[in-house]
Chains A and B, each alone.
Chain A
């Protein structure tokens, strides 16, 4: 009895979870494997279109012979690269049509024309012509004749399915495309974005954790950048930072803080002199990081605020009795209490920032020194239309992330052991 109950429970569970599991498998897990597969192939954007045999039907009347009609098919192979094998052709005609010139490859039975064209090489083109005569003298309706579409069929190799593999893509990714530069840019973007958003998160959480007028309103305002659509925010920032007529530059010029407008999103380096040392700051990258911090610190804020509100008040009361200063309270009580949240946040944000595509794409498109790895996936795959390369870059991203997670967890584990 009990056994059957457990069995039905199992069955129910599988029925209930199956649709979700299947969908996630098809759209998330399968593509990941497909990605590995593609990354070992030389595939370009144009190759992924399956070659099709095509025919354009043109109906022409023949001068002086009203009872006859000429039909011209412009046949072609849609692919410029691959051949199509065993092309078959079929088209239907009205019953009163009689064929005049039957091609040797075709047969005409029951007012339908069937042909076997054999193999078409890439770029194949042929003008195929048929002449019909109408014996009962009725008028020919060209439009309906044209509206009947011929059916074509053929076999072709799917370049994605064959088993030619190559390591070329990975070689190119790792040794040719300034990989180190890409990696460094991605690292800067990810690391400073993550740290910045966490620092701002701590500051704002500490702030909102105090009592003041309009606190709930403040809490929702702080989350605005996180919930609003990226597209809108990125274009607003672009407009604010525009060197020609952007608000920020106009304001700075107006207050005579700067003399010439600064192209915050289009300038790779800016020279800054502090205490006699001149160094180059990656300006566009810094701006993009600022945007990232601005957009994602609310997540850190929320997590840390939730943790802050759970800290027992007695701790602070005891500290007050001991005469601790506000800074001591912050560093001795608050900070140790939120380290766990911060370490989780650091991991989540690091992973997500490492893969962030939209923000940089919309702000700079990867120009002026802001080309990160995800941007490179897009540029390789769709701008240079080398799908194989794009795949290889994304596989590199996954491998790097897995390595990061491995080391991060080992580090965390050690620290937990020590405490």
Chain B
């Protein structure tokens, strides 16, 4: 039992180590280092030996010294004996190994004797593996987007794997792609259009949604249940079904290629979510406040502006942020309704830019960074509001 558990532990931990070092090697390759192999066999043997040694040494040496010894041995083998690599790479390997030996530090021979110990180990390492794997898989495209936007066409052609950024160069050269898209491709104008459309959608949606949500949450009227269920059904309704009729109607009314047209469609499509999210919050406001207001002879307008809105600022701002993000990210309708470059939104402009096969990709990526940054910034900054709202209403997508 003990031997079996020891072997399983060493196997799992060495696989984990292989994974860690492989990610580091990929990142190092993308910095222009010439690494042609992961040397998985060597990594595996080293990881296995380190795990065994860790169990064998146990508490005979202080854990800090133990970690430093393991790390140094590994760095010596991997970064010196196999392939000589620059110092920053080896420092990274050293830190990874230190982290690794810190992580395996809590396992010992005694612990391995316990019931389910292999499952516990597997679970622990799977969690660690998952955290790193998902961070890598998610952040890698964003990282590539950012890094590519700082490269030049020639540098990308010479070595497609070298994404290191030369910070020594002139600021003008570093941000060249950004200067170009703003100067020659009028991205400033598109940002303005996108902002007007998104902010406009937020304002109009709130103007329509707050009274409606209040009525659904508080007042009794014929057709109330019908209204609240149809809100949800409409919310589920596919946008692709609306595209053709709206296109024909808008062309006949001359609303295509206009900001007004986009505003109308965006407002209508975000209204159901907004009403749904707001009415849920309004229901949680104590009724006594409004009853007092009715005694004071406040009209419904007064109740909404003086009581409901001030009390539900958090909910309203989370709805506003959502609607902003939906409108900012929206692509389908802007693709259908806009074909004149003068009225493009950011998303549509980037798609248009990519339609020309000769557009250098660093421009495309610079545009992508420009359209992504505001949304990610809003999201990270207001995450608390947004996450609670996401589960309540869940942004369509």
- Chain A residues at the B interface, C-beta cutoff of 8 Å: 6, 9-10, 12-17, 19-21, 23-24, 26-32, 34-35, 38, 43, 48-50, 158, 160, 203-204, 207, 210, 212, 218-233, 235-237, 239-240, 245-247, 250-251, 254-256, 294-296, 299, 302-303, 306, 323, 325-327, 348, 351-352, 354-355, 357-358, 361-362, 374, 377-378, 381-382, 387, 390-391, 394-395, 397-398, 401
Contact with A along B309-353 (1 / 0, CB 8 A): 000000000000000010011011001100000000011001100
Question: Cβ of A235 and Cβ of B354 under 8 Å apart?
Answer: yes
Question: In the bound complex, what is the Cα–Cα distance between A24 and B216 (angstroms)?
Answer: 15
B196 at the interface (CB under 8 A from A): no
In the assembled complex, 25 residue pairs joining A and B whose CB atoms fall closer than 8 Å, in A order, are: A20-B209, A20-B275, A21-B227, A23-B264, A28-B269, A31-B245, A32-B241, A32-B245, A34-B245, A35-B241, A38-B245, A207-B130, A225-B138, A226-B395, A227-B325, A227-B395, A231-B347, A247-B161, A294-B137, A306-B391, A354-B238, A355-B239, A377-B240, A391-B244, A395-B241
**Cβ of A220 to closest chain B Cβ, rounded Å:** 5
Are A358's CB and B237's CB within 8 A? no
A-chain residues with CB within 8 Å of residue B139 when the two chains form the complex: 221, 224
A398 to B232, CA, bound (A): 16
B347-385 vs A: 1/0 string, CB under 8 Å? 100110010000001001101110110011001100100
| A296, B331: Cα distance in complex, Å | 16
CB contact between B134 and one of A207, A228, A236, A251 (< 8 Å): that residue: A207
Residues of chain A contacted by B390 (CB below 8 angstroms): 223, 299, 302
B208 with A381: CB separation less than 8 A? no
Q: With a CB–CB cut-off of 8 A, which chain A residues contact B214?
A: 16
Interface size on B, residues (CB 8 A): 102
In the assembly, what is the distance between CA of A255 and CA of B34, in Å?
Answer: 10
Interface residues of B (CB under 8 A from A): 26, 29-30, 35-38, 115-116, 119-120, 122-123, 127, 130-131, 134-135, 137-139, 141-142, 144-145, 148, 156-157, 160-161, 163, 208-209, 211-212, 214-216, 219-222, 224, 227, 234, 236-249, 251-252, 264-265, 267-269, 271-272, 275, 300, 325, 328-329, 331-332, 335-336, 346-347, 350-351, 354, 361, 364-365, 367-369, 371-372, 375-376, 379-380, 383, 387, 390-391, 394-397
**Cβ of A27: which chain B residues have Cβ within 8 Å of it?**
242, 246, 264-265, 267-269
B216 in contact with A398 (CB, 8 Å): no
A326 near B116 with CB under 8 A, answer yes
Question: Looking across the interface, which residue of chain A has its beta carbon closest to that of B369?
Answer: A232
> Which residues of the other chain, A, contact B272 by a CB distance below 8 angstroms?
24
- Extra contacts, 17 of them, besides A20-B209, A38-B245 (Cβ < 8 A), are A9-B221, A12-B215, A12-B219, A17-B211, A20-B275, A23-B264, A48-B251, A221-B134, A231-B331, A239-B364, A250-B161, A306-B391, A326-B116, A327-B119, A348-B394, A362-B351, A381-B243
Q: How far is the CB of A350 from chain B (nearest CB, A)?
A: 11
Q: Which of these, B137, B161, B368, contacts A232 with CB under 8 Å?
A: B368
Inter-chain contact B240/A357, CB cutoff 8 Å: yes
A13 touches B219 (CB 8 A): yes
Taking CB atoms, residues of chain B closer than 8 Å to A29 are 234
**Taking the nearest CB of chain A, how far is it from the CB of B264, in angstroms?**
6
CA distance A224 to B379 in the complex (A): 8
**Are A247 and B212 within 8 A (Cβ)?**
no
Most central of B120, B331, B364 by chain A CB within 10 Å = B331
Given A207-B130, A231-B350, A231-B351, also A48-B252 (CB < 8 A): yes
Bound CA span A13–B116, Å: 61
Query: Is the beta-carbon distance between A23 and B130 smaller than 8 angstroms?
Result: no
Kindly state the separation between the CA atoms of A419 and B120 in the bound complex, as whole angstroms: 32
A50 neighbours in B (Cβ, 8 Å):
252
Q: Are A204 and B347 in contact (CB under 8 A)?
A: no
Closest to B237 in A: A28
B144 touches A229 (CB 8 A): no
| Interchain nearest-CB distance for A247 vs B (Å) | 6
- Measured CB to CB, the closest approach of chain A to B170, in angstroms, equals 25
**Considering residues B224, B325, B397, which has the most beta carbons from chain A within 10 angstroms of its beta carbon?**
B397
Partner of A254, one of B36, B208, B271: B36
Q: Which residue of A lies closest to B30 (CB)?
A: A247
Residue of B116, B271, B335 touching A23 (CB-CB under 8 A): B271
Partner pick for A226 among B209, B249, B346, B397, CB 8 A cutoff: B397
Tell me which residues across on chain B come within 8 A of A233, comparing CB atoms. 141, 368
Q: What's the Cα separation between A233 and B137 when bound, in Å?
A: 13
